[in-house]
Amino acid sequence: MNKQLALVTGGIGGLGTEICRQLAKSGKRVIAADLGSRSDRVSEFLDEVSEFSDDISFEPLDVSSFEECTTSLKAITDKHGPISILVNAAGITRDTSLRKMSERQWSDVITVNLDGVFNTCRALVDGMTERGFGRIVNISSVNGQTGQFGQTNYSAAKAGMHGFTMALAREVARKGVTVNSVSPGYCETALVMAVPQAVREQIVANIPVGRLGKPKEIARVVDFLCADDSGFITGANIPVNGGYFMDF
């Protein structure tokens, strides 16, 4: 049987790399889609996942451009085959308090983190519904659930991402396509390491598990949601945050 094909945006990033690896371990072919301009990081990434070199490949994609997503995702599909799993893990931060935030810092974050999800889903969801199977996982954030000082842009995008998840989940539920969010807490990624050390230590002190999360602890949940037999979970948000934010 042909292996299912997954596309992971932000695929060479901190969480993206582990998500690609985990999906390949579960028997999927995986395309890591990320900015082509990160050429040094692309070769590092390919080394890091060399164990799965038959199943993981890289394709350049800028999720912030609707036109590029439309044309590149069509070209990627023509080259590799139909995509049945989409993980939206592309994300950036431009942290600063609202009174200092430029329009650019606002729009950069909204365009990549939220518009990017629309752009990829818009390009790929018809193929999934036509074939009667699909798995979409959007990587949101605990900071979309709680808000975070210095992140009006990021928190808005990440909360918006889950609203999008719930709405699209309803639209495609009858067609075998599930749409879910995963909301990581603070993990060992470059994004989190960019937070000033004193602030970061204060945050870790408030994580009941007492440490940062590991990217593979997020990837494990993504992989679970992408499984064939996870078809009754849709429109859900799965928090993976070491107890930093608990609700019901």
Is residue 192 involved in binding ligand CAA (CB under 6 A)? yes
Interacting stretch for ligand CAA, rule CB under 6 A, among 125-133, 182-190, 206-214, 231-239? Answer: 182-190
CA pair distance 18, 48, nearest whole angstrom: 10
**What is the rounded CA–CA span in Å between residue 61 and residue 103?**
24
> At closest approach, how far in Å is the CB of 5 from ligand CAA?
27
Distance of CA 42 to the CA centre of its chain: 18
Q: Is 102 in the site for ligand CAA (CB under 6 A)?
A: no
Picking from 87, 62, 117, the residue whose alpha carbon sits closest to that of residue 219 is 87
154 carries an active-site annotation: yes
Distance separating alpha carbons of residues 63 and 41, to the nearest angstrom: 17
Q: Does the footprint of ligand CAA cover residue 104 (CB under 6 A)?
A: no
Nearer to ligand CAA, 4 or 141 (CB): 141
For β-strands 134-139 and 5-9, DSSP reports them as unpaired
Q: Is 96 helix (H, G, I), strand (E, B) or coil?
A: coil
Q: Which of 97, 147, 171, 227 binds ligand CAA (CB under 6 A)?
A: 97
Of 11-19, 80-88, 112-120, 195-203, the window that binds ligand CAA (rule: CB under 6 A) is: 195-203
Q: Is position 208 an interface residue for ligand CAA (rule: CB under 6 A)? A: no
DSSP lists the bridge partners of residue 29 as 5
Would you tell me how many other CB atoms lie within 10 Å of the CB of residue 232? Answer: 7
26, 70, 77, 96: residue in contact with ligand CAA (rule CB under 6 A): 96
Residues designated as active site: 154
Return residues touching ligand CAA (CB under 6 A): 93, 95-97, 100, 141-143, 148-151, 154, 184-186, 191-192, 195-196, 199
